[in-house]
Amino acid sequence: MTMRKLFCIALCCASTAIVGCGGSSKNKIAGSGPNVQPITVNAGPNGSSVNTAFISVNVCVPGSSSSCQTISGILVDTGSFGLRILSSALSISLPQQNAPDGNPVAECVPFANSLTWGPVETADIQISGETASSVPVQVLSDTAFPLPSGCKNLGLPSVDTLSTLGANGLLGVGEFVQDCGNDCTLSGPSNPGLYYECPNSNCVVTQEALSAQVANPVAFFANDNNGVIVELPAVNGSAATVNGSLVFGIGTQSNNGLGSATVYAVNSNADITTQFGSTCVSTSPCDSFLDSGSNGIFFLDSTTTGIPACSSGDGFYCPTTTQNLKATNDGSNGTSGQVSFSVGDADAMFSNGASAYSDLAGPNPGAFDWGLPFFYGRNVFTAINGASTPAGTGPFWAY
């Protein structure tokens, strides 16, 4: 399972197999606690981010209590898996991961419109009162090792600087533990080619054991390790700053129960599905996913929706008047729920200087990427694959 993209309590039913077991969760923003980390949506470390949720993360040399660094401006991403840090934001030296033959390991990760490249290193990761020990992380750098041809041939720009990434790093807290999974443990053409060993100036694709892959640190917490909740208040149009919480665990503490949230199990593509208009219909719904790392709701295209793209060509919609729309999300467990959302003029939004917008959207042919505007006014649960929760075993989303 590779990553998809980059920025562009009491349960009401006993099992995820029960259909229609509730509505939206109450949007109660969690207070302080050992499993709660504040989230801020603002302009970010580069001063120009839009609809980007940031937290601070503390990283340490494994086993050390003194060789540590707190890094702010880390993007929270429910659509990917693992911690990735800009080399320019990292002031401590983390141990390099090496292949069994002693050669250093690096990784090339394609997102929808960019890629990350850099060495795989190891860190203890502390967020709020939670700690994950000796977790593989990626340090983003195009200079630590030369970008290999297999990575160059993807034709995607590398995001290894603050100006290109728009953050000091990203924390992938999605539904899976490893960022590639079993495919990267294989040899030959079945290996997707994310991991490389670099014996000299020519890095070559290598097999990477599950335990060595860049991983979602939440799965390695001692407690509260079965998923996360992104809690953000509603945004009426736009806001200069939005404050919320990243809560660890689902049904493990008094502050992370599912309440009346509806559980949406994922399909074989690790997606839910969406019905919209005459294109994404019940007989042929579009794949969709809940993705806090995308700064808009990205769906279909202008030909399908009738919503004009911005003349600036920046990848967003620019209707002359705000469009108020409805779609229906369906889980593979039979749950279904309608979503109301709006699409506004992105060019007009970007000219007013706010950091949060509830109606920012753009094209994504054939699919729905429910980005950060979807999260405003909702508590969105992401359950990790294979982890036990009061609603059954992950992976699933709930809201």
pLDDT digits (tens, 9 = 90+) for 193-220: 999 999 987 899 999 999 999 999 999 9
Domains annotated on the chain, with CATH:
36-220 (2.40.70), 255-398 (2.40.70)
Q: Give the number of other CB atoms < 10 A from CB of residue 313.
A: 7
Residue 131 phi, psi dihedral angles, 5° rounding: -135, 135
Residue 112, pLDDT score = 82
Q: Using 50, 70 and 90 to split pLDDT, how confident is the model at 9?
A: very low
Is the pLDDT at 392 greater than 80, yes or no?
yes
Pick the more confident residue, 6 or 63.
63
Please state the rounded mean pLDDT for residues 280-305: 97
Phi/psi-derived region of residue 269, left when phi > 0, alpha when psi is between -120 and 50, beta in every other case: alpha
Structure tokens at 126: 């502390």
User: In whole angstroms, what is the distance from residue 377 CA to residue 257 CA?
Assistant: 17
pLDDT of residue 11: 21
Query: How confident is the model at residue 23, as a pLDDT?
Result: 40
pLDDT band at 118 (very low <50, low <70, confident <90, very high): very high
**Confidence (pLDDT) at 26:** 57
**Residue-wise pLDDT tens digits, 316-363:** 999 999 999 999 999 999 999 999 999 999 999 999 899 999 999 999
CA 43 from chain center: how many Å? 18
| Widest Cα–Cα separation across the chain | 60
Would you say residue 16 has pLDDT above 70? no
pLDDT value for 122: 98
Reply yes or no on whether the pLDDT at 299 is more than 60.
yes
The sign of the torsion formed by the CA atoms of 374, 55, 272, 298 equals positive
Q: What is the mean pLDDT of residues 100-121?
A: 95
Name residue, tokens 């992950």.
394
What three-state secondary structure class fits 162?
helix
Once rounded to an integer, what is the mean pLDDT over residues 101-127?
A: 96
Element (H, E) at 38: strand 36-41
**Mean pLDDT, to the nearest integer, of 136-165?**
95
pLDDT tops 60 at residue 376? yes
Q: Which two tokens stand for residue 172?
A: 């992938």
- Which pLDDT band holds residue 182 (cuts at 50, 70, 90)? very high
Quick one: average pLDDT of 218-232? 98
Question: Could you read off the pLDDT of 378-390 as tens digits, one per residue?
Answer: 999 999 999 999 9
Does the pLDDT value for residue 292 go beyond 90?
yes
User: What is the C-alpha separation between 168 and 75, in angstroms, rounded?
Assistant: 8
Mean pLDDT of all residues belonging to the chain: 92
Residue 3 has pLDDT above 70, yes or no: no
pTM for the structure as a whole: 0.92
Q: Does residue 22 surpass a pLDDT of 80? A: no
Dump pLDDT digits (tens) for 25-70.
Answer: 557 778 789 999 999 999 999 999 999 999 999 999 999 999 999 9
